[in-house]
Amino acid sequence: MGRYIGPVCRLCRREGQKLFLKGTRCYTDKCPIERRNYAPGQHGLAQARRRKASDYAQQLREKQKVKRIYGVGERYFKNLFERAAKQPGVTGENLLVALESRLDNIVYRLNFASSRKQARQLVRHGHIEVNGREVNIPSYPVKPGAEIRVRAKSKDLLPVQASLESKTRPEMVRWLAVDEGTRTGRMLERPSRADIPLAVQEQLIVELYSK
């Protein structure tokens, strides 16, 4: 299935929570979920009033939610899960850490972009370098110690400037450090689950794929 190109606020309404897909608007009262916190479509409100969802429905929704937050497709997500399951430790945590370590996510968390979608574009268009070399692969796995920088020719790009100057931006996570002046960030360490500010129950995804 191709990438979703419809209105992203519908995705948040479908999942019943803010997924922060639209940049600075998500932090204002213009966020539609503030007014209509039920699934889109003519049956959305009725669905919200119905009885509790089945276990399977909850597991499925949790998986869809995480995929939508990071903007990744089903095949990629499943492959990442299988790799996470082979690693030592807790599979759900390994999965989230792998998603958090994606270059586009790190560019977003460093506030060089106001959304993961915008961060993906910056990476794709060659505006980002890792350890001094241009990397244009959004899923590139960043390792602890790596330096992530907006390229010199791109450091005054409007989206980068607007994101850094925005008053409504997510808080910096403690496993990243940034020097906004030089548009340079560093991944200090591998995050633990407690360091990933995401309201998701990754265990439900593990249960779904373990069936």
H/E run at residue 76: helix 74-86
CB of 59 to ligand SF4, least distance (A): 22
Phi, psi at residue 134, to the nearest 5°? -60, 135
**12/142 with CB nearer ligand SF4:** 12
47 residue type, one letter:
Q
CB of 119 to ligand SF4, least distance (A): 15
Q: How far apart are CA 120 and CA 42, in angstroms?
A: 33
Binding mask 16-45 for ligand SF4 (x = CB under 6 A): --xxxxx--xx----xxx------------
Residue 156 near residue 150 (C-beta atoms within 8 A): no
Is residue 9 close enough to count as binding ligand SF4 by CB under 6 A? yes
Is residue 135 close enough to count as binding ligand SF4 by CB under 6 A? no
Q: How far apart are CA 116 and CA 106, in angstroms?
A: 9
CB atoms within 10 A of CB 154: 18
**36/190 with CB nearer ligand SF4:** 36
What angle, 0 to 180 degrees and rounded to 10, lies between the N-to-C axes of helices 91-100 and 74-86?
130
CB of 39 to ligand SF4, least distance (A): 12
**26/164 with CB nearer ligand SF4:** 26
**98/198 with CB nearer ligand SF4:** 198
CB of 209 to ligand SF4, least distance (A): 26
CA dist 182 → 87, 103, 125, 152 (Å)? 36, 18, 19, 9
- Phi-psi category of 183—alpha, beta or left, where left has phi over 0 and alpha has psi -120 to 50? left
**30/78 with CB nearer ligand SF4:** 30
CB of 62 to ligand SF4, least distance (A): 17
Is residue 8 close enough to count as binding ligand SF4 by CB under 6 A? yes
Residue numbers of the site for ligand SF4 (CB under 6 A)?
8-9, 12, 18-22, 25-26, 31-33
